[in-house]
């Protein structure tokens, strides 16, 4: 009896455990069933929301930005190649800097332009902004690395929270091409070279007739001072004057008086000077002006302008140079010579909507910018030029459309083709040999493409040569080489094919 009781107790415990396990399993089963049912109910709602979001999605680039097609990129690469070639010809080396900078650094350098700077959210305890131009990052680079002499070029995108205007070639994201000379040198020699660089690039790109307008911030400061503009209002007055050409003098004068707080007689006096432009004769006239001669700063600027005109004459570009007293340049870091190039006669009866171009290049001297970043205030004089590649591109693209010139987007030199079926292996082996030899080659991604389609592709895309494989050619140990332009074909021994292709491409 005593031996039976423990067995009964153990059986009773097992029954209880089994009942608990079954109860848990039933509850879990019900929970899973409810969850599956809930997901089944909610899933259509989620899918419907995604479908609605996709239906409402607008596929477009943000305002002031754009995509570039292969044809557009082919033209842009041609422009960049010409610009870089000129920069290197003048001994410049290239650098790169981050697309964003510390916010305080940018705003200290862009007082008037601070409202156009894109700010970023606080990241890791740093307040950042997208770069507005390439000049401030360059000055920061010089100060940070304690560089006293440097000739560099930099091609990169910059960002401005501006009102975009496609008709004027103005965007919020665009590319700048900068060339700068940093260091203490004899007066006006680096300045003259920057103007020569600008002239060479605009001449090489053949985007139209152009004029380079020149002024000096010292001359402008002298004019404003003798006319009664307070020093505190000089930069504001410059930013207003910089609009002259885009708007009339009367509109500029009104803004100076009503928004900048200048007296009407002061604005009227400024107008007597800033509407002058010319060459050597204007320099002599200003040097003899009794009122302007009271400004030592203006006289210094005029003496340097004489020297600059002498150097530009030696460089052979003086005929496309004009001293223009209305030129102010909006950046407040400019300290001496300033300049910009404008295209002439851009309107055309053949174009429905002619592109209006304000300027296609600009620059100047900014001797104090590097010192503003240096804790010891160490000065590194700088002068530079920036090529307005976006505006040049807009004009050249329009000119190509008008002339109906065909742009080839491919640089492929040879198409490896087959005249018969079952030559995929032969084509793949041959194209690999061409690639290894540095020849730009393509082939169709089909096992058995039609020969006619392959030849038409070459004519449409501008590929100059076709290497054709066939059974007869394979038996004879040759490759048929076809000139796409003339449609003439010759059989070339396979071992001589690469040499023959390179010889033809060099012509």
Residue 129, phi then psi, degrees to nearest 5: -140, 150
Q: Residue 507, Cα to own-chain centre: how many angstroms?
A: 34
Chain position carrying tokens 């292709």: 501
Residue 451's CB is within 10 A of a number of other CB atoms, namely 14
Residues annotated within the binding site are 133-135, 160, 176, 180, 329, 333-334
Q: In the chain, how many H helices and how many E strands? A: 17, 16
Name 423's Cβ contacts closer than 8 Å, sequence gap at least 6: 469, 470
Q: How far apart are CA 159 and CA 140, in angstroms?
A: 18
Q: How far apart are CA 409 and CA 70, in angstroms?
A: 6
Strands 414-418, 441-442: pairing is parallel
Integer CA distances (angstroms), 306 to 28, 296, 314, 501, in order: 94, 16, 13, 56
Residue 365's CB is within 10 A of a number of other CB atoms, namely 26
Residue positions counted in the chain:
507
Residues annotated within the binding site for L-histidine are 133-135, 160, 176, 180, 329, 333-334
List the structure tokens of 244. 């002259």
Chain position carrying tokens 């842009």: 76
Could you tell me if 227 and 350 are in contact, meaning their C-beta atoms sit under 8 angstroms apart? no
List the structure tokens of 322. 């004009």
């Amino acid at each position: 009896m005593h031996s039976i009781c423990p067995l009964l107790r153990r059986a009773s415990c097992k029954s209880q455990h089994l009942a608990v396990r079954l109860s848990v399993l039933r509850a879990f089963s019900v929970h899973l069933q409810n969850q599956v049912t809930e997901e089944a109910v909610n899933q259509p709602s989620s899918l419907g929301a995604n479908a609605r979001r996709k239906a409402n999605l607008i596929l477009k680039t943000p305002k002031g930005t754009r995509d570039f097609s292969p044809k557009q990129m082919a033209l842009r690469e041609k422009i960049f190649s010409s610009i870089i070639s000129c920069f290197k010809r003048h001994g410049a080396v290239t650098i790169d800097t981050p697309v964003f900078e510390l916010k305080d650094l940018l705003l200290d350098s862009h007082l008037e332009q601070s409202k156009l700077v894109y700010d970023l959210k606080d990241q890791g305890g740093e307040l950042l902004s997208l770069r507005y131009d390439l000049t401030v990052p360059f000055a920061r680079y010089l100060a940070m690395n304690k560089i006293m002499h440097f000739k560099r070029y930099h091609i990169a995108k910059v960002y401005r929270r501006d009102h975009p205007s496609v008709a004027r070639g103005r965007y919020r994201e665009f590319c700048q091409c900068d060339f700068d000379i940093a260091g203490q040198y004899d007066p006006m020699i680096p300045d003259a070279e920057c103007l020569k660089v600008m002239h060479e690039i605009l001449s090489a790109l053949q985007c139209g007739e152009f004029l380079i307008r020149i002024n000096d911030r010292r001359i402008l400061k002298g004019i404003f001072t003798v006319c009664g503009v307070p020093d505190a209002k000089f930069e504001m007055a410059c930013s207003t004057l910089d609009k002259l050409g885009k708007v009339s003098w009367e509109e500029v004068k009104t803004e100076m008086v009503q928004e900048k707080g200048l007296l009407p007689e002061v604005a009227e006096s400024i107008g007597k000077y800033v509407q002058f432009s010319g060459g050597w004769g204007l320099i002599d006239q200003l040097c003899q002006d009794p009122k302007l001669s009271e400004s030592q700063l203006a006289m210094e600027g005029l003496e340097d302008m004489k020297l600059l005109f002498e150097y530009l004459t030696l460089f052979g570009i003086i005929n496309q140079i004009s001293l223009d007293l209305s030129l102010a340049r909006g950046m407040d870091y400019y300290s001496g010579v300033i300049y910009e190039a404008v295209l002439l006669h851009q309107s055309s009866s053949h174009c429905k909507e002619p592109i209006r171009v304000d300027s296609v290049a600009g620059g100047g001297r900014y001797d104090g910018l590097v010192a503003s970043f240096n804790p010891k205030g160490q000065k590194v004089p700088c002068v530079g030029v920036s090529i307005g590649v976006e505006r040049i591109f807009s004009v050249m693209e329009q000119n190509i459309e008008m002339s109906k010139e065909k742009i080839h987007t491919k640089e492929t030199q040879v198409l490896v083709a087959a005249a018969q079926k079952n030559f995929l292996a032969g084509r793949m082996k041959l194209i690999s040999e061409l690639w290894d030899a540095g020849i730009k080659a393509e082939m169709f991604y089909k096992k058995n493409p039609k020969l006619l389609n392959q030849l038409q592709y070459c004519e449409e895309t501008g590929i100059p040569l076709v290497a054709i494989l066939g059974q007869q050619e394979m038996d004879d140990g040759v490759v048929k080489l076809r000139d796409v332009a003339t449609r003439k074909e010759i059989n070339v021994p396979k071992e001589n094919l690469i040499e023959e292709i390179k010889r033809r491409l060099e012509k």
